[in-house]
Amino acid sequence: MKHILKIDAEKKMPKYLQIAQAITHAISVGKLKKGDPIHSINELSNEFLLSRDTVQKAYNLLRKKGVIIAVKGKGFYINRTDISTPYRILLLFNKISNYKKQVYNAFVQTMGEKAVVDLKIHHFNIKRLEDLILDAENEYDYYVLMPHFYDDEEEVYAILKKIPGEQLIILDKDLPYTYSKYAGVYQDFKNDIYSALEMAKPLLNKYKKITLVFPKIIPYPKEILTGFKTYCLNAKFPFEIIPEIDLNTPINSEGAYIVIEENDLVNLIKSCQNLGYSIGTDIGIISYNETPLKEILLNGITVISTDHQKMGETAARLILENRKEKIKNPFVFIQRNSL
């Protein structure tokens, strides 16, 4: 069974699970068929220098599932081939937020029982990303990653090359480098905001200026800035870019605001209420990223957003259907009463 079974002492996965997974994988790819004999406990123990207890535990697990049977006086045989081994998948997100949870939930629901999914957060930290990938090396069938890094991008690409391209799914952002074997579901941040503002133009025309609140502390794609500036310049629309809104930030009437962070949205609404401004008349608000709360807050907050549920579903489909594609995720402008 040496061509079928490989035991890696460096893996964190227990050896008995490595044995069980190797045998079920060999069945799934046709290397072992119903009725085929496999090593006895003593043979496998001696060949791979494993304890009998380890092999016994693996075989007990396979017998419990009906994958193998023991025939008295003869040994162990493959009993079932109608089995499916769940994919082992590692999700590496940049942060946790309401909309990232939407991606996660849709991904897990679409994979269903066909996957065991672990979630870890790299917090935009390149060293943490590298440690997570090295720690998980050879532990997973797929690595699904949100690569939101804005410094030392070449270093990030070098780290990602440690993952075989056929096992890598990139989410949320397309990567402009030559390592192109990976599949992915991405946003086109520059053109998405441009197109959304073009759709909003009839409503924006009643305001004198557009202010984009683009955070400095929390990283966001710089392509959003580029798309915003390009739209305003082409539309000859006065604009401003500020890093945050607090309760002391001057709020200009007859202005429209595009906010990304929800703290800025809350502070903007509070300031408008304190100043007696009517939202949707005196002040226009567009919020990034749809959430259920924005549908009902102030009778509806206008939103520009990618479809986070669709992103999670599509990523799962790429794995389930073994597709090596890069797919642009849908982006929408949802008109509500705040604009």
Per-residue pLDDT tens over the stretch 302-335: 999 999 999 999 999 999 998 989 999 999 999 9
Per-residue pLDDT tens over the stretch 8-29: 766 667 888 888 888 888 887 7
297 and 314 fall within a common domain: no
Q: Report how far apart, in Å, the C-alpha atoms of 107 and of each of 93, 113, 126, 315, 316 are.
A: 13, 12, 24, 7, 6
147 and 112 fall within a common domain: yes
- Is the pLDDT reported for residue 261 higher than 90? yes
- CA 87 – CA 103 distance, rounded (Å): 18
Per-residue pLDDT tens over the stretch 159-213: 888 888 888 999 998 887 655 678 999 999 999 999 999 999 999 999 999 999 9
- Is the pLDDT reported for residue 155 higher than 70? yes
Q: Report how far apart, in Å, the C-alpha atoms of 34 and of each of 2, 22, 47, 221, 246 are.
A: 19, 16, 23, 53, 68
Q: How confident is the model at residue 89 (pLDDT cuts 50, 70, 90)?
A: very high
Q: Return the ∠ at Cα 307 (arms to 302 and 312), rounded to 5°.
A: 150
Among the listed residues 251, 288, 290, the one whose alpha carbon sits nearest the alpha carbon of residue 267:
251
Asked whether residue 334 is assigned to any structural domain, the reply reads no
Position 183 scores a pLDDT of 93
Position 235 scores a pLDDT of 96
180 and 193 fall within a common domain: no
Look at the chain and report how many structural domains it folds into: 3
21 and 91 fall within a common domain: no
Partners of residue 119 on adjacent β-strands: 91
User: Taking the model in full, what pTM does it have?
Assistant: 0.78
Range of the domain at 250: 189-306
Average pLDDT over residues 233-250: 96
Per-residue pLDDT tens over the stretch 92-114: 999 988 889 999 999 999 999 88
- CA 312 – CA 318 distance, rounded (Å): 10
Which of 23, 54, 78 delimits the end of a domain?
78
Domain at 45, CATH number: 1.10.10.10
Task: For residue 238, give the amino acid letter.
Answer: P
Average pLDDT over residues 70-89: 86
Please, how many CA atoms are within 13 Å of residue 8, restricted to the half-sphere of its CB? Answer: 10
47 and 57 fall within a common domain: yes
Position 237 scores a pLDDT of 96
Backbone phi, then psi, for 329, in 5-degree steps?
-80, 145
Long-range contacts of 222-227 (CB under 8 A, 24+ apart): 222/150, 223/188, 223/189, 223/190, 224/189, 224/190, 224/193, 224/260, 226/190, 227/189, 227/190, 227/191, 227/192, 227/193, 227/194
Asked whether residue 8 is assigned to any structural domain, the reply reads no
Q: Which two tokens stand for residue 129?
A: 């990303």
- Is the pLDDT reported for residue 269 higher than 90? yes
Position 86 scores a pLDDT of 78
212 and 256 fall within a common domain: yes
Q: Return the ∠ at Cα 94 (arms to 90 and 97), rounded to 5°.
A: 105
- CA 235 – CA 254 distance, rounded (Å): 17
Per the prediction, the chain carries an average pLDDT of 91
105 and 158 fall within a common domain: yes
Average pLDDT over residues 276-301: 95
Which residue has tokens 């979630």? 119
DSSP H helices in 138-285: 153-160, 189-204, 222-234, 262-275
Q: Which two tokens stand for residue 5?
A: 């079974």
243 and 268 fall within a common domain: yes
Q: How confident is the model at residue 126 (pLDDT cuts 50, 70, 90)?
A: very high
Q: Return the ∠ at Cα 117 (arms to 110 and 178), rounded to 5°.
A: 85
Q: How confident is the model at residue 4 (pLDDT cuts 50, 70, 90)?
A: low
Domain at 223, CATH number: 3.40.50.2300
181 and 197 fall within a common domain: no
Per-residue pLDDT tens over the stretch 171-184: 998 887 655 678 99
Per-residue pLDDT tens over the stretch 127-153: 999 999 998 877 788 999 998 887 788
151 and 242 fall within a common domain: no
Position 313 scores a pLDDT of 98
- CA 206 – CA 42 distance, rounded (Å): 82
